[in-house]
Structure 1
Amino acid sequence: MAASQTQRPRTMAANTATWRDVTAAAVVLVGGPEDYLGSRAMDRIRGQVREAAPDVEVSRLNAAIYTPGALEMNVSPSLFGEQKLIEAEGLEAMNDAFLVDALKYLERPEPDAVLVLRHGGGVRGKKLLDAVKAGGWPVVDCQPLKKDADKVAFVASEFKAAARRINPDAVQALVNAVGAHLAELAAACSQLIADATTAVDVEMVDRYYGGRVEATGFKVADAAMAGNAPLALSTLRHALATGADPVPIVAALASKLRGLAKVAGAQGSSSQIAKQLGMQPWLVEQAQRDVRRWTPEGLVRSIQVTAEADAQVKGLSRDPVYAVEHAVTVIATSVRRS
């Protein structure tokens, strides 16, 4: 991908985009606490870069445990001149070394590299976020879909993008059935789009999701985070056997762990922390209860294995099922026993 394709003219206003239409650029900021939309935005950018440069070299950085100089090393031109894609996650917990290196990099981005910055919300690293926006690079804001109307619009857009039809009452029925978590709602849309031969109606939604206890990604994550490995693995296997996609399951694990990591180092009341981190107060309170059962080492180990599983289920492994099972096992066995 040439520089003209990745580097946008610098202006004094951010080049705002949605997760559905963001275009790869030399620097892209994917911000906001909704992990699923953030993952979709990053998937879209990754797909664009790979389409333009099939031999692209993909690197991933964790801004919370970043080592000085790692960004420069990953973006440096290689001997064979491959396109570089660097995905930096965890910016909401970035260390000072990452902040310094990233600010320096923004002054002169590499022409044959795409740097995607994932910030989950909060005030940490505001100087870097402001610099990205001031530079005119694409900025995607991934906020939770809290209202039913937003979830209805999401479902309608999923079917429209797939050139498939769903009746309006079926859209509402689907939101009512599996709309608590966006990743689950998206997985349900994908399943119906794949299976339906005609327009999806209420009867089909009810047949798939009505009155049935769902083995969902978040139930897998809840069991793993509780340290119940047998339940987490059996729920996972049932979910996969009934057609669940490994990607949203890993997203659910990542979401739970990210919430713990955010809250672990925060101080103040639950409402103060919620405002600071851009989280719901009840989620903060839940994370505060859960984090007491974790050691810092166990949490870091679980985050690392989940990041590895995320890469593997998105194409870096021939056995994504094993990758998810391994992550669930590590997480469940990392919980400190009371």
Structure 2
Amino acid sequence: MLRRNRSGRGGMTETANELADIAKTLEDRWRHHAGSSVQSYLEGSMVLADAKGKLRHGRWLPWLERIGMNERAASRRMKVVQDPNIRRVLQGANRTRLSDLPTSQAALLALCGHDRETFDGLVDGGVVRPDATAREIKAALAPDGQDARPVTLEDIAGAGPYGAILADPPWLFERCGRACDCRPFERPWPDMTLDELKALPVGDMAARDCALFLWTESERVLDAFALIDAWGFDYRTTAFEYWKEGEPEPACWTRRETATCLLGIRGRPRRMDKGVPSAIIAPREPHGGKPVECNARIERLVPGPYLELFAPDERRGWAAWAP
């Protein structure tokens, strides 16, 4: 039964006030555990599970909206901390330690849903470690002679939302003439049109306060601005210029020696380090790849969780996806 407040006035009740206080306390706890470490991820996920149990009367979904998370992402995170094997690690009842768990959220999800014997086998086999990737875990779980199921965008989205997203799209290459021989490199995956890139659910994977780092080629700068807008971000500045050591690449008109990474923001992402430089001078990466120094600087600049799209491989502490 709803109770009147002590002033005797209508409207707000003590029950409603109590629920509001609970919601505020839970929100404070959530923001306290908003770091990018595996411990912060798991403790934040436990706050979500606690909030789901305490916030009734239609307050759960509005509360999620306040912290910048959708219901689907919250469900996937709660799945991790409700997994019996992960709970044993959190309770210190397993021979693996919290610090041994993968730092990648996608890898944590790949560890869920298995019986104790399977989980312990992954631990004994050295698969459960901080730099383990979802792809490695799935490969270890795949029957002999079978390929592991690839990491999908749905897997990646479930490990979010992400505070920083790095994307290096395979922009559609168009020849500037019949005799054009200026394509600088071959990608490991097919080119994508601007409409295909716009259709990727990047905005759904972004946290309320998120920074987008988008690599573009000089011929695709206008498309890059359009893509930033389509994914729900506002362009701010050039984040990085990658100066490639070695011979310049073939290109239309002048030969290419640099690559540009644009910065878009959503909400108010926090700048953690004001001393991060924009110029990256590094050896040329194969297939148009970008140096790992870019990831390191993003980690200095803004808080995670971190996601890399069109990633050649998974880096420690990052979720990664490629077609």
User: Do they superpose with TM above 0.5?
Assistant: no
- Structure with a larger share of its residues in helix: 1
More strand as a share of residues: 2
Structure possessing the higher radius of gyration over alpha carbons: 2
Query: Normalising to structure 2: TM-score of the pair?
Result: 0.30
